[in-house]
């Protein structure tokens, strides 16, 4: 059973930074592309970022480009999301999600439980 456990969420002021982590287990992490998907309170799902299995290709939604950085450490089976210059509209539950592919961005067959990021003064 795939396990994805996010951590690092919390309350931060506008303009602040947070680093989210997602610890993966029970599958070969280095074989799969990974994503971050977020969900604002009471709203729908929004894809945020993608990283290929070997970290060689990365994509972001336009609204976070230049502010967020997705990365991974395959030796530690961990996915990261560095979030800088946070805005109130970044407030959401952030999920890490496993892709079915190693190479391309397809769909998500496993999700973590999510970690809440709240940007407020």
Partner 1 sequence: EIVLTQSPGTLSLSPGERATLSCRSSQSVRSTSLAWYQQKPGQAPRLLIYGASSRATGISDRFSASGSGTDFTLTISRLEPEDFAVYYCQQYGSSPLTFGGGTKVEIK
Positions in the binding site for partner 1 (CB under 8 A): 35, 44-47, 50, 59, 61-62, 95, 100, 105-114
Q: Which is nearer to partner 1, 47 or 55 (CB)?
A: 47
Six token digits for residue 76: 């530690």
Is 39 within 8 Å of 57 (Cβ atoms)? no
Residue 15: CB minimum distance to partner 1, A = 25
Closest distance of CB 32 from partner 1, Å: 14
Helical segments of 22-107, H only: none
Total residues belonging to the chain: 121
16 vs 67, beta carbon nearer partner 1: 67
Closer CB to partner 1, 13 or 31, in the complex: 31
Q: Are 73 and 80 in contact (CB under 8 A)?
A: yes
CB of 54 vs partner 1, minimal distance in Å: 19
Torsion of CA 39, 46, 53, 19, to 10 degrees: -50
């Amino acid at each position: 059973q795939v396990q994805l456990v996010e951590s690092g969420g919390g309350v931060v002021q506008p303009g602040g930074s947070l680093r989210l982590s997602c610890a993966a287990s029970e599958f070969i992490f280095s074989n799969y592309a990974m994503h971050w998907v977020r969900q604002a309170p009471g709203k729908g799902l929004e894809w945020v970022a993608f990283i290929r299995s070997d970290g060689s290709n990365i994509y972001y939604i336009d609204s976070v480009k230049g502010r967020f950085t997705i990365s991974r450490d395959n030796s530690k089976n961990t996915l990261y999301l560095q979030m800088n210059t946070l805005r109130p509209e970044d407030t959401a539950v952030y999920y890490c999600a496993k892709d079915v592919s190693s190479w391309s961005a397809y769909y998500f067959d496993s999700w973590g439980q999510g970690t809440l990021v709240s940007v407020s003064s």
